[in-house]
Structure 1
Amino acid sequence: MNEVISDRNVAWFLGLAGLIPFIAGGLIAWWAPAAWQVTAVYGFSYYSAVILSFLGGVHWGSALQVPRQGNHRRLIIAMVPSLIAWPALLFNVTTGLWVLLAGFVLIGGYDLSRDGREGFPRWYLKLRCVLTGVVVVFHLIVLLRLGG
């Protein structure tokens, strides 16, 4: 049987798979040996910064893909996640995680806005809500472990 896999299904699969480092990092930060916990927290922070930057790239790509009025605003907003993520890695890990968490909440809010969801299929917004929700929860789990 030759079955066609939709872009939506692939995006959901990859999006959910992209949660593995967040979930693993959060769990390892609590229950692994101490040396692994430190590595897990730093790995969690670095991965968080990469993914936050990626979310800006999604909007950059959308703005370039479909010409529409206001694209210059979307291009500017698309740079914000990287400008949050990079300095977050320069702070101590607890402060950096709070900054990254704020970045995910901000870009998530933009994704929910009329401008932010323009040009994306409805299923994408549902995917983003699920992914952002899990990412926020695991940031809070790691921050709780750090006492921050």
Structure 2
Amino acid sequence: MQTIPRSALILGLAGVIPFAWGAATLLSDSLSAWGLAMLGPRFVGPYVQLFYGSVILSFMSGVLWGFATKATGGQATTGYALSVIPALWAFFMTGGGPVSAGMNLIFGFAGLLLLDWQFWRWGLAPGWWMQLRGLLTALVVACLAVGVLL
């Protein structure tokens, strides 16, 4: 096992902040009221989680595409095809209400973890990749679950 580079870990954890903020504003009425007054309705509760979650799934499609560039032949073709799934999932599956969109984001991040594992197994992702992705996925899914279960 390789150690996660400090910068990747810090930036990855920073990327969880909007999910955690959304969960916190769902759990605290006073924090939600403050966020609503200071930031606006798009940046509290499930709204920040759902919008940001769609952005991150799309971003991760780009990361996987980058990994696919390391492959050749049929593996490259498969990698490119798999890499677009998270973005398409976000585009097609986050409509509807906040509960169904939140559930679909949870499924999307779980599916992304499987794709991460496959790219890692192929040797296209860094050795430490699954340690980072496992941690970040667990945190994101926990935050999204607050929005789905409340």
Name the structure 1 match of 2:68.
Answer: 63
Q: Which runs of 4+ in 1 moved over 6 A?
A: none
Q: CA deviation at 1:105?
A: 0.5
Name the structure 2 match of 1:82.
Answer: 87
Name the structure 2 match of 1:3.
Answer: none
Letter in 2 for 1:91: G
Structure 1 portions without partners, runs of 5+: 1-6
Aligned residues: 137
1:13 and 2:10 aligned: yes
1:23 and 2:27 aligned: no
**Cα RMSD for the two superposed structures:** 2.0
Letter in 2 for 1:68: T
Letter in 1 for 2:63: V
Structure 2 portions without partners, runs of 5+: none
TM-score of the superposition, structure 2-length normalised? 0.82
Name the structure 2 match of 1:107.
Answer: 112
Q: CA deviation at 1:116?
A: 4.3
Q: CA deviation at 1:123?
A: 1.4
CA contact (8 A) 1:88 1:97 kept: no
